[in-house]
Amino acid sequence: MSGLFVSLEGVDGAGKSTLAHHLRRRFEEQGREVVLVREPGGTALGEAIRTLLLRREEVVIDPEAQMLLFLASRVQLLETVILPALDRGAVVLSDRFHLSTIVYQGIAGSLGEERAVRVCSAVLGERRPDLHLVLDLPLELARERRGKEVDRFERSEEFLARVVEGFRSTSGLPGDRIVRIPATGAPEEVARLAGEEVDRVVA
Ligand code: TYD
């Protein structure tokens, strides 16, 4: 059985973690090994980069350097966790992947979509998810669901509005399979829709 690589994407508060847990249960019920990872993070290096990016506000990070740190965390995760898991035939569910870089650093940030696409493409090549599930949610609802966690990226409403629009408009890297799912419904309904999309890829 070959592995399956799915990334879950969307604005902060869209419900990715909840969906990840639903999908994990669904695959485990089918008897498959599921590996759940989050970005940035998921490895010792990745967690150190995560702390640097999200928590160490006294460390000034230029936007281009920031994008490369997200990518460094991603490459470490790919090489040490994701690709070995896919080789074993596991299902890998990643809470964010390169669409987040394209949207947050590229479209909503200062680098521009084209630059982010070029760099992600050069770094990742074909080491990419088989499917990107984008949870689409109006900004007001995402804000309500988001709660109070504070990090360096406590972003302006304008930035987050660009993030929501960016996830709607981007086609990612050439060849990416992106499916947008309305995330306004109950978690079980969102999970059902997501499960149908995953089945289409597996079939
Ligand atoms: P996290 O606490 O994981 O947010 P969430 O629970 O919403 O996924 O923090 C990750 C933050 O980093 C989130 O605001 C999105 C941002 N991010 C980027 O800006 N670029 C990236 O490439 C990735 C993976 C995340």
Ligand 1 close to Cβ of residue 66 (< 6 A): no
Ligand 1 atom index nearest CA of 39: 24
pLDDT at 148: 63
Residue 171, pLDDT score: 97
The pLDDT of residue 55: 84
CB atoms within 10 A of CB 143: 15
Cβ of residue 12 lying under 6 Å from some atom of ligand 1: yes
pTM of the model: 0.94
Per-residue pLDDT tens digits for 130-167? 999 999 998 888 888 876 666 667 678 899 999 999 99
Question: Which residue matches tokens 């966690």?
Answer: 149
> How many Å from the N-terminal Cα to the C-terminal Cα in the chain?
13
DSSP string, 111-169: S-HHHHHHHHHHHHTT---SEEEEEE--HHHHHHHHTT---TT---HHHHHHHHHHHHH
1 alpha carbon – ligand 1 mean position (Å):
31
User: Is 73 a pocket residue for ligand 1 (Cβ < 6 Å)?
Assistant: no
What's the CA gap between 59 and 79, in Å, rounded? 27
**Parts of the chain with a pLDDT under 70:** 1, 147-152, 154
Distance, CA of 110 to chain centre = 19
Pick the residue whose CA is nearest to atom 8 on ligand 1: 12
Whether residue 22 contacts residue 60, with contact meaning beta carbons closer than 8 Å, is answered with no
Model pLDDT, residue 9: 97
Query: For a substitution probing ligand 1, which of 11, 12, 75 has the most ligand atoms within 8 Å of its CB?
Result: 12
- What is the rounded CA–CA span in Å between residue 171 and residue 48? 30
Is the sign of the CA dihedral 171, 173, 178, 184 positive or negative?
negative
* Nearest protein Cα to ligand 1, atom 13: 12
CA distance 31 to 45: 31
